Amino acid sequence: MPGRKEAEFVTTLAGVAQIVDFVDRQDTWKRVIEPPLYIDLEGEQLGRNGSVSLMTVLVYPGERLEHIFVIDIYTLGNTAFKVVGERGKSLKNILEAPEISKVFFDVRRDSEALFAHYGVNLRGVWDLQLMDSAARPRTEQRRLLSGLAKCMQFVPLTNAQKGEWTLCKERGDRVWNPDKGGSYSAFNKRPLPAEILRYCAGDVAYLPAMYKKYASKSTRWRNFVFEASQKRVVESQGTGVQPEGKERALSPWTEEEHKMLDSWTEVNPRRSYFSQSREDDLYEQSLEDYLNEQSREDDLYETWLTGQDNDA
């Protein structure tokens, strides 16, 4: 990524312990405005019935100071979550600490997998997918959730940054995506392909910039989204069947919540950045068009919509 350090592939327990100590030393954990952690998981059939291959962690001490680590869960397994650093904390401790804010984009599969395979009960989670949805000013614009590629259109990046991000995603797709000549097993290949390492980094590299768009929202809006994020985590850990396909693309808001959010449009800053017609062009799509677009642009949705129950 332009202007960013390359992601570091962490394959040892000592390396994981160093990351834990690094996170534990950050003084931003008390500040919701600048969460210190941005996380994404990759794996074959990611979820309770699949496996976890890689955990990408972006540690954010401040702008231009971020570090991206890709932890080799496939090799280290459960020990990656148990190893303790010099400060007496483990990765599991960090992930379960409610006072340490951590950001995901669609936490559902990640949470499901972490809980089912490693007993990790995520807490202190902000879900950027829900933040994006709740920020839209009208009910009809919130009916469908957006994938990462769609939300990236609203992140204030240079053309060079957007181009590099898209290129990294496309190159990674060709390595892991069976429809493009790749294989899901690429996440478990060692040495890890360089395209996969960059692909993982791309999934978190600009999440801090995306999160910042919502940092100045009202307290009531932030509380609402935070509670919805925690609810997603709890539901992902349950024994019930998780939504798939079209149902997974629907927003979680009730009609009452839609009405409430409609009345909070004064807290939505997007009108100062984009014309309403531009928002309408991006969000008011039919369900069929939405699903087709996500299958092309966003690996988070591609496998859900094809029914293969895989997540990249």
Comparing 293 with 169, the larger pLDDT belongs to: 169
Q: How high is the pLDDT of residue 295?
A: 47
Q: Where are the domains of the chain?
A: 8-306
Confidence of residue 307 (pLDDT cuts 50, 70, 90): very low
Q: How high is the pLDDT of residue 220?
A: 92
Please state whether the predicted TM-score (pTM) of the whole model is above 0.85: no
Share of the chain above pLDDT 70, in %: 79
Mean pLDDT of the chain: 84
Check whether domain 8-306 has CATH 3.40.640.10, yes or no: no
Output the DSSP codes for 66-128: -EEEEEEHHHHTTHHHH-B-TTS-BHHHHHH-TTS-EEESS-HHHHHHHHHHH-----SEEEH
Burial state string for 57-71 with b = 16 or more CB within 10 A and e = fewer than 16: bbbbbeeeebbbbbb
Share of the chain above pLDDT 90, in %: 64
Does the CA dihedral 32-157-305-247 come out positive or negative? positive
Q: How high is the pLDDT of residue 120?
A: 98
Q: How high is the pLDDT of residue 13?
A: 98
